[in-house]
């Protein structure tokens, strides 16, 4: 199949490109290289089925030219500002990079009659809610611009799917960990320890707890739902089994660092920043019902990721 992956040089996108190339799809990896890195896809460049396109999704003319020239069978729309915290200082950032990019993708798909969309959404659409939420549950009351922009994108995808013939599958991701991560707590912790190896500053009181998923397990979930026989509009929650606290993550990172004796220094408070959801869990029985079996539970995923990042030069 001819598949467009937006954000294809990013953390999750590059792993997805790997998997699609392994499946012998023809892959157009689109990225503006704002968060994505050419390093992540360098190894794919020699494959004749792999095409890297440096393009900003907000460049409507260029996007339409690409769609007109390429005859895609499906789009995996992963391009986004994936750094939730960044959205707190620039209230328009997530609107442009998460919501408006989705509108541009939807319109290009409509114009060029591309019928299949896979979309990367987030648990952050729920906001602060400790119930074990399934895909039909409300309320949806995001507390971060990231969550709001993704919910806004979901809303528009719903309309295109219900009235304009698009078949859309939305996966709501939890925190994702693994090789090539460009952001997130593990990434931050490693960067901080490089600056101050004797002490690791941890935002909040460390009690924030969420489910994590290993990036390759997540890619499996994307491919599984992509291949499944689904209706016009479907939503799936994805997460590894269990959850992990920020304190546990910090301990795992320190234990694998150059200085396993580094002290943890908590900044205090129940959350890392305004918009951080302190506790979250959700019901993943729907995607498990399709046969998805992640390799790693939440804390295993964290541990594995830290070790792999260490192997690649911590």
Residues near its own copies (CB under 8 A): 88, 91-92, 95, 99, 103, 107, 110, 125, 127-128, 135-145, 147-149, 151-152, 155-156, 158-159, 162-163, 233, 235, 274-275
Of the two residues 150 and 216, which places its CB atom closer to its own copies in the complex? 150
Minimum CB separation of residue 17 from its own copies in Å reads 30
Of the two residues 2 and 110, which places its CB atom closer to its own copies in the complex? 110
Minimum CB separation of residue 139 from its own copies in Å reads 5
Distance in angstroms (rounded) separating the CA atoms of residues 213 and 175: 6
Of the two residues 89 and 312, which places its CB atom closer to its own copies in the complex? 89
Minimum CB separation of residue 304 from its own copies in Å reads 33
Minimum CB separation of residue 303 from its own copies in Å reads 32
Minimum CB separation of residue 281 from its own copies in Å reads 16
313 Rama sector, left if φ>0, alpha if ψ -120 to 50, beta otherwise: left
Minimum CB separation of residue 140 from its own copies in Å reads 5
Minimum CB separation of residue 208 from its own copies in Å reads 16
Of the two residues 89 and 229, which places its CB atom closer to its own copies in the complex? 89
Of the two residues 109 and 309, which places its CB atom closer to its own copies in the complex? 109
Of the two residues 139 and 260, which places its CB atom closer to its own copies in the complex? 139
Of the two residues 151 and 222, which places its CB atom closer to its own copies in the complex? 151
> 84-103 in b/e burial notation, b at 16+ Cβ within 10 A?
bbbbbeeeebbbebbbbbbb
What would the two tokens of residue 9 be?
């040089």
49 Rama sector, left if φ>0, alpha if ψ -120 to 50, beta otherwise: alpha
């Amino acid at each position: 199949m001819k598949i467009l992956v937006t954000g294809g040089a990013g953390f999750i996108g590059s792993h997805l490109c790997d998997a699609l190339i392994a499946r012998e799809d023809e892959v157009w990896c689109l990225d503006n290289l704002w968060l994505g890195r050419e390093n992540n896809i360098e190894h794919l460049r020699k494959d004749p089925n792999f095409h890297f396109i440096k393009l900003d999704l907000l460049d409507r003319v260029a996007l339409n030219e690409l769609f007109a020239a390429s005859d895609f069978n499906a789009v995996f729309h992963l391009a986004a500002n994936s750094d939730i915290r960044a959205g707190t200082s620039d209230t328009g950032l997530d609107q442009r990079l998460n919501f408006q990019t989705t509108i541009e993708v939807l319109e290009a798909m409509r114009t060029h009659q591309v019928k299949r969309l896979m979309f990367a959404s987030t648990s952050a659409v729920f906001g602060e809610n400790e119930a074990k939420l399934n895909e039909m549950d409300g309320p949806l009351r995001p507390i971060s611009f990231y969550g709001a922009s993704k919910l806004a994108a979901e809303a528009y995808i719903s309309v295109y799917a219900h009235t304009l013939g698009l078949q859309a599958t939305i996966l709501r991701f939890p925190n994702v960990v693994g090789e090539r991560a460009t952001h997130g707590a593990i990434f931050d912790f490693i960067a901080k320890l490089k600056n101050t190896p004797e002490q690791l500053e941890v935002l909040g009181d460390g009690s924030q707890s969420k489910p994590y998923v290993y990036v390759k397990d997540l890619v499996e979930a994307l491919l599984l739902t992509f291949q499944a026989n689904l209706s016009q509009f479907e939503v799936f929650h994805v997460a590894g089994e269990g959850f992990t606290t920020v304190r546990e993550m910090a301990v795992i990172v320190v234990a694998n660092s150059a200085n396993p004796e580094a002290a943890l220094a908590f900044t205090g408070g129940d959350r890392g920043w305004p918009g951080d959801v302190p506790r979250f869990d959700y019901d993943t029985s729907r995607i498990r019902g399709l046969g998805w079996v992640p390799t790693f539970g939440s804390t295993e995923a964290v541990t594995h990721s830290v070790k792999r990042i260490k192997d690649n030069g911590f």
